[in-house]
Chains A and B, each alone.
Chain A
Amino acid sequence: MIDPRDPRVAVIPRRLAGVERILAVTGGKGGIGKSLVSTTLALALGSAGRRVGLFDLDLTSPTDHVILGLAGEFPTEEFGLEPPAVAGVRFMSVRYFIGDRPAPMRGRELTDALIEILAVTRWQDLDVLVIDMPPGLGDTTLDVAHLLPRAEHLVVASSSALVKETARRMLRLLADLRAPVAGVLANMARDDRHGVGDLAEDHGVPFLGALPWDDGVEEALGNPQRLLEAPFGRAVRGIAARLVGAP
């Protein structure tokens, strides 16, 4: 008799074998634009000719579908679940299944749901899989570091002292977890005095740049082309090119 194991974990590396890079957009604090940054980053990479996937890991209350303008797309069931292409991005979210219902889950349940999705989702070949991380430094951050150790974390911060305080903790946690960090970026920047570059320097990680406060973003939600052409979207495209390079 051999100790029982969770069979789903064993198959996760195979499910992601065709994915070259995984970028986890994180930051810890809620409301700092992780969903907008991750979704726009995926759209920018797709528009630059990259094969890109987007995984909305806010399992209890996903929102990336609003930014993408999801219509009636649904995963194809073929030896697992194949995420449909939405605006050029292979998109996975529990939104397909729960509609607009809340999905209240706690610790172990979040872990189980994440493992289940990773075990049955067939991403095919991707240059980049972007993961939109939920707020917080707990369950999902730890799970991603454990289950996807090659995921490179992209920490979103802003000029707010409260946001930077949380971003510092996140960077320390990622260092403790030995999780790769792609860099830090400043979101909602109104000028150059956001101080996020200093935060990156303090932790010895790259500062990727600043994304401007953009009043037009709200009206561009659900319209990927308009989003990419807005000042915010153009800045994200610049960061995408720096992160991944020209195709």
Chain B
Amino acid sequence: MHELALAEAVVTAALETARSNGLTRITRIEVRVGELQQIENDAFELAIRELLPPGEPSVAGAVVEVRPDAAVFRCRACGAAFGLSETGGPQGDDASEAIHFIPELAHAFLRCPSCQSPDFEVTAGRGVRLEAIEGD
């Protein structure tokens, strides 16, 4: 699964961040997943939990929260702000799969609903972000 590679990235970054900040125990990891990434949040949360290794820093009992980020776009041509549903969403399996793997490929498939330009900015909800780590 492609999601497992991203989950491994989250775990690697979380452990590195904890170590570089002197944490011996992680109590909470918060991850934001952009709507464009089209990942099932519960499955992603489970994948992160399963990849957390035993050892230092301790992750026993750590809370893993995966929260969705709605995709927000701004057209660079006409200035319109819009969400994914207003574009009609990715049309067909190929478009969904491309955007799922590489969210920036939205530019190959989506258009501004106002002026049909592919020159838009993804201002929110593009991918996976390690939002916070708590511990002591």
Contact = CB atoms under 8 A, between A and B. Distances in A.
Contacts of B125: none
B129 A7 contact: yes
A104 interface: yes
Chain B interface bracket (under 10, 10 to 19, 20 to 34, 35 or more): 35 or more
B133 interface: yes
B2 A80 contact: yes
Contact of B102 (A79, A113, A122): A113
Nearest to A113: B104
Given A97-B97, A116-B102, A122 B5 contact: yes
A78 B1 CA distance: 5
A109 B126 CA distance: 10
Given A80-B4, A98-B108, A112 B126 contact: yes
A99 to B, nearest CB: 7
Interface in A100-120: 101-106, 109-110, 112-113, 116-117, 119-120
A71 interface: no
A116 B103 contact: yes
B130 A14 contact: no
Interface string B41-78: 00000000000000000000000000000000000000
A193 interface: no
Interface string A115-138: 011011010000000000000000
Interface in B104-136: 104-105, 107-109, 118-119, 121-122, 126-134
Interface in B84-111: 94, 97-98, 101-105, 107-109
A112 B127 contact: yes
Given A2-B17, A104-B118, A79 B5 contact: yes
Contact of B12 (A1, A10, A80): A10
Nearest to B99: A97
Which of A79, A97, A106, A113 has its CB near the most chain B CB atoms (within 10 A)? A97
Given A2-B132, A106-B121, 13 more contacts: A1-B134, A6-B130, A7-B14, A8-B13, A10-B9, A10-B12, A81-B5, A98-B105, A103-B105, A104-B118, A112-B104, A117-B102, A119-B9
Interface of B: 1-2, 4-6, 8-10, 12-14, 16-18, 21, 23, 31, 94, 97-98, 101-105, 107-109, 118-119, 121-122, 126-134
